[in-house]
Structure 1
Amino acid sequence: MEVDPTWNSAFIKGCSKCRLHRVQHFNFKVQTSHSQRRFHLFRVPAASSSPNPLTSGNRGIDRVKCKYCKKDLAAATANGTTGLRQHLGRCIPYKTLIKPPTQKKIHFPSKDKHELEEHWEFDQQLIRRALVEMIIVDELPFSFVEKEGFKKDWKLHKRILNFCPVTSHKGEHMAESISNCLLHWNLDKVFTITIDNASSNDVTVRELSKQLNMWRTNIMDGKHLHVRCMTHILNLIVQEGLKEIDASVKCVRQMVRYVRGSSARTRSFKKCCEVQKVGCAKTLLLDVPTRWNSTYAMLNTAQNFEKAFNRFDFFDENFKTYLATHVCEDGSVVGTLECDD
Structure 2
Amino acid sequence: MSTTDDGESNPSRNELEHEGSSGPLLPSPTTQSCEESDFVKKRGEYKKRSKAWDHFHVKHVNGVRHAICKYCEKDIAADPKSHGTTPLNTHVAKCPLNPKNKHTGQATLCLGETETLEGEVKGALISWKFDAETIRKSIAYMVIVDELPFKHVEGRGFQYMMRTVCPSFRIPSRWTISRDCYQLYLDEKIKLKHLLKNNSGRICLTTDSWTSIQRINYMCLTAHFIDNDWKLNKKILNFCPIASHKGTEVGKAIEKCLLEWGVDDILTFTVDNASSNDVAISYLQGKLQNWEKAVLGGKWTHVRCVTHIVNLIVNDGIKKLGDSVDCIRAAVRYVRQSPSRLKKFKECVEIEKIESKRLLCLDVSTRWNSTYLMLDTAQRFERAFERFEEQDPYMLQELENLPTKSDWTKARFLVIFLENFYQLTVTVSSSKYVTSNNFFTDISHINGILIEMTASDNEELSSMARSMKEKYDKYWGKIEKMNMLIFISSMLDPRTKVEYLEFVVCQMYGESDGTTIAGLAKDAMFELFNEYKMLNPPASNSVSHASSLSSESQRSKTTFYGHG
TM-score range, shorter chain: 0.3 to 0.5
User: Which of the two has greater strand per residue?
Assistant: 2
Larger-Rg structure:
2
User: Which of the two has greater helix per residue?
Assistant: 2
Relative contact order higher in (CA < 8 Å, ≥ 6 apart): 1
